[in-house]
Amino acid sequence: MIEIEWLAFLKVFVAALLGAVLVVGFYSVGLRLLVRAGRPPVVAPAEFTDAITVITPKEAARATKAAAKAARKSPLSDAQKRVALIGAYASFVLCGLAVLGGLLVIVLNR
């Protein structure tokens, strides 16, 4: 006869849901603060041989120009931008700590 420990199942479900919410939440807050600080992440396009869509250098230059324009139009002062940047980095660190904490729970299994 197989018995299911429903309490253990519930603990795993809550831990997984909480971990997912924390990681996604911290990452999205960090990304938002990074943009508010005037440093939107612009990633150069990668060239893949089997890519469905490849960004042309012209489109990449246009995106970089738009990001620079958005950074110049920021209504925040330099001090506010600095605080937003520190908050963004802190949020990314918390995101990484949430991932490491989840890995430690899995590895240590206590």
Predicted confidence at residue 26, as pLDDT, reads 94
Question: Where does the pLDDT of residue 16 fall: very low under 50, low under 70, confident under 90, or very high at 90 and above?
Answer: confident
pLDDT in tens, 23-32: 999 999 999 9
Burial of 14 (0-12, 13-18, 19+ CB in 10 A): exposed
User: What is the pTM assigned to this prediction?
Assistant: 0.67
- Domain residue ranges of the chain, discontinuous segments joined by +: 19-41+51-108
* Dist CA 110 CA 28 (whole Å): 30
pLDDT in tens, 47-68: 665 656 667 788 878 888 887 7
* Dist CA 10 CA 8 (whole Å): 5
* Dist CA 46 CA 66 (whole Å): 19
> 27 or 13, which is more confident?
27
